[in-house]
């Protein structure tokens, strides 16, 4: 589908988006697209990095760039590492704060054309198993995806529905479902990503009908203390992708929304592969037939001699099979089931090790509910990040080494001693990005000496309590002061901001810090408790740092974030 022609052929007064609380029409969007096209052409820009949280601005710049023949580079993050790498390549950057384009366009629809066979979309894989790789797509490949998106819904979503999303449009899932799909299907796109459950509840309360595009990470943490019953009738359809949704998460969706999600299996490399919608039986078990995956329209599913998923479609290479990373079992009716990810093999001391097998053994030990194993790039050491189970947390209270030894007791039955992990990190939850996915970079960052390592915690929706020791190796102690080291106040605030962003998904930009107090000095090895409470409506975080018994106060403050 040519999305530009669809916009040009629609009524210019037809609503296409909700900008703040105001309706944006097709004519207004075409005007914005025309101005961006004129800018890219007049400036001679051949490639542009688009990274905007404002989805409407992103959409106008994206389509304007395509009409100008400008390649759009869509990174999944804008860390300092990512930005520096892209800056070296000489791209133009478009952010939310990039000055508004002032070009006057008398006839915005004139000369708005797409060259569909041009490779103008450059996306990145999630980086969950290594360095994110680039995937270059033609507009034909991208836009042909759109027509298949709702073809297999058991009940087709309503036209005119408003699309809200918890996922970023910088990744292919959000890019297709929250930008291109609504524009091509008569549904309304919205401006901002919903980060918190309260925001989802409010969006449902104020709008109907709503289609919610989400990730499993958000759905498996739905708080049932919110009054979902008063808003669930406004939810027309629920979509989930980006990873497997646990049975616990499925049950939360049923209880909160009265429906289970339409689940999408796909990736940046393979596009949309298949769909399913699991259902609960009367006895509250999951219907086994509904667990099978149905291929997307125009998609052929096969497996190679090793039982690994293969895909063939016009959106990829229609003549050859493209191999994925999942083992599958195909069934006679054309559906299939997933048997797990393929083994990720590394070499340790010239011996082959399956990271997948290592992770499963750690989980099977009973001490952890999640585990990710990988090789640290600088030291070449095998590292593990794991989320302890209740039993594991109890063990951790007696010391990290005791928990490691308990897990190793199981690992030694299968792996040689030389293959055992050298570095361990135990976390209340796995670090995830805006897509609800973990990345190898986020796992590696946990071994940065600036990060605290809690050994006990209480985690709630908008609150956490972490107990940890001020590691003598914290770089913040260096030079402050050489003979009597103390933890600087600014470092304490930075540590709070880091943990709040990780566990509570607070914004990254701070507006102001008030009521800041430092009452006692923190020396290396001090036993500390960090408590943080986040008000998602006011975007304010209150924290305090105390001794475990609460008798000694070290610091406290109220931190306001930019919207």
Mean pLDDT by 10 residues, the chain (563 residues): 86 92 93 93 95 96 96 90 92 89 60 90 77 86 78 79 95 92 93 94 96 93 94 96 88 96 90 92 94 91 92 84 91 92 80 90 96 90 96 95 96 93 95 76 89 94 95 90 91 95 91 96 97 96 97 97 89
Say whether both 81 and 149 belong to one domain.
yes
Say whether both 130 and 165 belong to one domain.
yes
Say whether both 91 and 234 belong to one domain.
yes
State the DSSP string of 325-343: EEEEEE-TTS-EEEEEEPP
> Which CATH number fits the domain that encloses residue 236?
3.40.50.12780
Say whether both 435 and 474 belong to one domain.
no
Say whether both 472 and 558 belong to one domain.
yes
Say whether both 517 and 384 belong to one domain.
no
Q: Does residue 489 fall inside a structural domain?
A: yes
Q: Does residue 319 fall inside a structural domain?
A: no
Say whether both 521 and 401 belong to one domain.
no
For residue 290, CA distances in Å to 99, 429, 556 come to: 49, 29, 51
Q: Does residue 293 fall inside a structural domain?
A: no
Q: Does residue 268 fall inside a structural domain?
A: no
> Which CATH number fits the domain that encloses residue 502?
3.10.129.10
Strand partners, 265: 274
Q: Does residue 529 fall inside a structural domain?
A: yes
The dihedral formed by the CA atoms of 174, 435, 128 and 278, expressed in degrees to the nearest 10: -80
Q: Which range of residues forms the domain containing residue 395?
A: 343-445
State the DSSP string of 347-371: EETTEEEEHHHHHHHHHHTTSEEEE
> Which CATH number fits the domain that encloses residue 411?
3.30.300.30
Task: Give me the number of domains the chain comprises.
Answer: 3
Last residue of a domain, one of 242, 258, 285: 242
Say whether both 224 and 78 belong to one domain.
yes
Question: What's the rounded Cα separation, in Å, for the pair 383 and 400?
Answer: 15
Say whether both 403 and 509 belong to one domain.
no
Q: Does residue 132 fall inside a structural domain?
A: yes
Say whether both 377 and 512 belong to one domain.
no
Q: Which helix or strand (DSSP H or E) is residue 134 part of?
A: strand 134-137
Q: Does residue 322 fall inside a structural domain?
A: no
Q: Does residue 308 fall inside a structural domain?
A: no
Last residue of a domain, one of 393, 410, 445: 445
Say whether both 67 and 199 belong to one domain.
yes
Diameter over CA atoms, the chain: 74
How many separate helices (H) and strands (E) can be counted in the chain?
Answer: 15, 29
Last residue of a domain, one of 445, 460, 490: 445
Say whether both 101 and 81 belong to one domain.
yes
Please say whether the beta carbons of 33 and 58 come within 8 A: no
């Amino acid at each position: 589908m040519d999305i530009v022609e669809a916009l040009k052929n629609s009524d210019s007064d037809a609503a296409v988006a909700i900008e703040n609380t105001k309706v944006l029409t097709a004519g207004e969007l075409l005007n914005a697209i025309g101005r961006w096209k004129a800018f890219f052409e007049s400036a001679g820009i051949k490639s542009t990095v688009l990274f905007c949280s404002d989805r409407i601005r992103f959409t106008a710049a994206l389509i304007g760039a395509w009409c100008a023949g400008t390649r759009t580079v869509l990174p999944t993050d804008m860390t300092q590492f990512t930005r520096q790498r892209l800056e070296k390549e000489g791209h133009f950057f478009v952010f939310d704060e990039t000055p508004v384009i002032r070009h006057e366009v008398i006839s915005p629809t004139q000369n708005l054309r797409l060259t569909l066979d041009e490779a103008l979309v450059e996306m990145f894989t999630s980086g969950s198993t290594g360095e994110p790789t680039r995937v270059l797509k033609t507009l034909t490949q991208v836009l042909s995806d759109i027509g298949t998106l709702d073809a297999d819904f058991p009940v087709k979503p309503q036209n005119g529905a408003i699309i809200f999303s918890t996922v970023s449009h910088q990744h292919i899932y959000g890019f297709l479902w929250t930008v291109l799909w609504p524009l091509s299907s008569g549904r309304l796109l919205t401006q901002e990503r919903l980060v918190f459950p309260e925001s989802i509840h409010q969006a449902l309360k104020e709008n109907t009908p709503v289609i919610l595009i989400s990730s499993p990470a958000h759905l498996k943490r739905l708080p049932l203390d919110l009054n979902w019953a008063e808003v669930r009738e406004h939810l027309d359809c629920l979509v989930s992708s980006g990873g497997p949704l646990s049975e616990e998460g499925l049950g939360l969706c049923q209880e909160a929304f009265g429906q289970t999600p339409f689940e999408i299996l796909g990736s940046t490399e393979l596009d949309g592969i298949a769909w399913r919608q699991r259902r609960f039986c009367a006895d509250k078990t999951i219907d086994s037939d509904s667990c099978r995956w149905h291929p997307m329209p125009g998609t052929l599913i096969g497996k190679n001699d090793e039982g690994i998923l293969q895909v063939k479609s016009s959106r990829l290479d229609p003549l050859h099979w493209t191999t994925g990373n999942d083992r599958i079992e195909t069934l006679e009716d054309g559906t299939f089931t997933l048997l797990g990810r393929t083994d990720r093999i590394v070499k340790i001391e010239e011996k082959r090790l399956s990271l997948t097998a290592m992770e499963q053994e750690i989980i099977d030990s009973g001490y952890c509910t999640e585990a990710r194993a990988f090789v640290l790039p600088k030291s070449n050491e095998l590292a593990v990040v794991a989320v302890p189970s209740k039993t594991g947390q109890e063990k951790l209270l007696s010391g990290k080494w005791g928990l490691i030894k308990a897990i190793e007791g199981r690992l030694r039955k299968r792996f040689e001693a030389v293959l055992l992990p050298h570095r361990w990190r135990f976390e209340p939850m796995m670090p995830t990005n805006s897509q609800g996915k973990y990345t190898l970079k986020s796992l590696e960052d946990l071994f940065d000496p600036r990060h605290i390592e809690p050994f006990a915690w209480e985690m709630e929706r908008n609150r956490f309590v972490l107990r940890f020791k001020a590691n003598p190796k914290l770089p913040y102690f260096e030079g402050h002061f050489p003979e009597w080291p103390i933890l600087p106040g600014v470092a304490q605030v930075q540590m709070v901001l880091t943990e709040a962003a990780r566990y509570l998904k607070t914004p990254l930009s701070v507006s102001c810090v008030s009521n800041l107090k430092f009452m006692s000095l923190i020396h290396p090895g001090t036993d500390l408790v960090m408590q943080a409470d986040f008000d998602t409506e006011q975007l304010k975080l209150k924290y305090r740092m105390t001794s475990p018994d609460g008798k000694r106060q070290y610091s406290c403050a109220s931190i306001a974030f930019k919207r």
